[in-house]
Structure 1
Amino acid sequence: MADEIPEGDGPLPPNLRFLRVLVTVLTAVMILGVLTVILLLVIRLNDIRGPVLVHPEVFSIPAGVNTVGYSVVDGYTVIIGDDGIIRVFASDTQELVQQLDLNE
């Protein structure tokens, strides 16, 4: 029979060799890409910072002044009193840095 396939495989045609290398490289790049995305997700999701808890009671506010609002901005705690004065404290040392009078 003339239609029989020979048992010894010869070398692949150049186009098929190129396609084989191209598919292998694409597979490797896709595996590296998926691993990179997974690694970045793990790093990003583990970097969750907890909320900053501030208690205005620990800062030295004059007696008789109630706190209307407070906030934490760049390492400073801003406390607004009902006397119309904004007090800016250093969050780490709890020292008064600046006072702004809203009534002026």
Structure 2
Amino acid sequence: MENPETQPGGNTAEPANLRFLRRLVTVLTATMIGGVLLIIALIVIRFYDHPPPLPETITLPDGATARAFTRGDSWFAVVTTDNRILIYDRVTGSLRQSIAITD
């Protein structure tokens, strides 16, 4: 008598739990690959986003030398060697605010 779990050719049938597990692993693998590709695409899009242009020149007060630079949405700031932060308007390039840094 032939075993009901045996397929033609002598191979045994795959249990339902194992078939479900195999499909689940395949779906999870495809989901992870899709997620990694999405993250890479978002990083590439973010790095190619061009910020608004800055003025060609920045006029610092007399005696000030730039040490660091940073920018925001509507402003940019220069940290000077004499411990001041100079905040400029991004569009006009005019000085908005000067902050003295105390030790």
TM-score of the pair, normalised by structure 1: 0.54
Structure-1 separation of matches of 2:25 and 2:50: 41
Count of paired positions = 91
Sort the Cα spacing of 1:81 and 1:55 in 2 relative to 1 into closer, same or farther, 3 A.
farther
Matched residue type, 2:41: V
CA contact (8 A) 2:65 2:81 kept: yes
**Contact 2:69–2:78 under 8 Å retained in 1:** yes
Q: How does 1:19-38 map to 2 (within 5 A)?
A: 19-38=18-37
User: 2:54·2:91 contact (CA, 8 Å) conserved in 1?
Assistant: no
Aligned AA (2:78) = V
**TM-score for both structures, normalised by structure 2:** 0.55
Matched, 1:68 2:65: yes
3-state SS of the aligned residue for 1:78? strand
Question: What one-letter code is carried by the residue in structure 2 that aligns with 1:57?
Answer: T
One-letter amino acid of the counterpart of residue 41, structure 1 = I
Residues 87, 98 of structure 2: 8 Å contact kept: yes
- Is there any run of 5+ residues in structure 2 with no aligned partner, and where? none
Q: Secondary structure at the match of 1:32?
A: helix
Counterpart Cα distance in 2 of 1:6 and 1:24: 21
Task: Structure 1: state its 5+ residue gaps.
Answer: none
Instruction: Please give the residue correspondences for 1:56-95 in structure 2 after superposition, counting only pairs within 5 Å.
Output: 57-59=57-59, 61=60, 65=62, 67-69=64-66, 71-74=69-72, 75-78=75-78, 80=80, 87-95=86-94
Give the fraction of aligned pairs with identical amino acids, expressed as a percent.
16
Q: Name the larger-Rg structure.
A: 1
Assess if the C-alpha contact under 8 Å between 2:69 and 2:77 holds in 1: yes
Contact 2:64 2:80 in 1 (8 A): yes
1:43 aligns with 2:35: no
Root-mean-square deviation over aligned CA pairs: 4.1
